Amino acid sequence: MTQVHYEVVRHDGGWAYKVQDVLSETFPTHDRALFAARSAAARQRAAGETIGIRYEDADGNWHDEIARGDDRPETDVEDSAGMR
């Protein structure tokens, strides 16, 4: 099963959460960033409906796939600042 890690970090004069190297918007307080990270992690785990998706890859090729609504990753939130 896929694991997605959200991490709360200082960013641009405030706080943000990141997944791998991608940062969220900046929040004015640590608590708001932590709340947003937990909310995003919960939505990532939520099951949805099975649908068809179409996307273009980096080479310009189109692909059609089925996205299973029950194929959700496990998530966690790391608060490296140690604030609660």
Distance of CA 47 to CAs 12, 36, 64, 69, 74, Å?
33, 19, 21, 5, 12
- Tokens encoding 51: 């649908």
Q: How confident is the model at residue 63 (pLDDT cuts 50, 70, 90)?
A: very high
Q: Give pTM, 2 decimals.
A: 0.71
DSSP-assigned beta bridge partners for residue 67: 51
Using the predicted structure, report yes or no on whether residue 56 has a pLDDT greater than 60: yes
Q: Which amino acid is at 34?
A: L
Q: Which amino acid is at 11?
A: H
Q: How confident is the model at residue 82 (pLDDT cuts 50, 70, 90)?
A: low
In which region does residue 60 sit, left (phi positive, over 0), alpha (psi from -120 to 50) or beta (all else)? left
Q: How confident is the model at residue 83 (pLDDT cuts 50, 70, 90)?
A: low
Q: What is the mean pLDDT of the chain?
A: 91
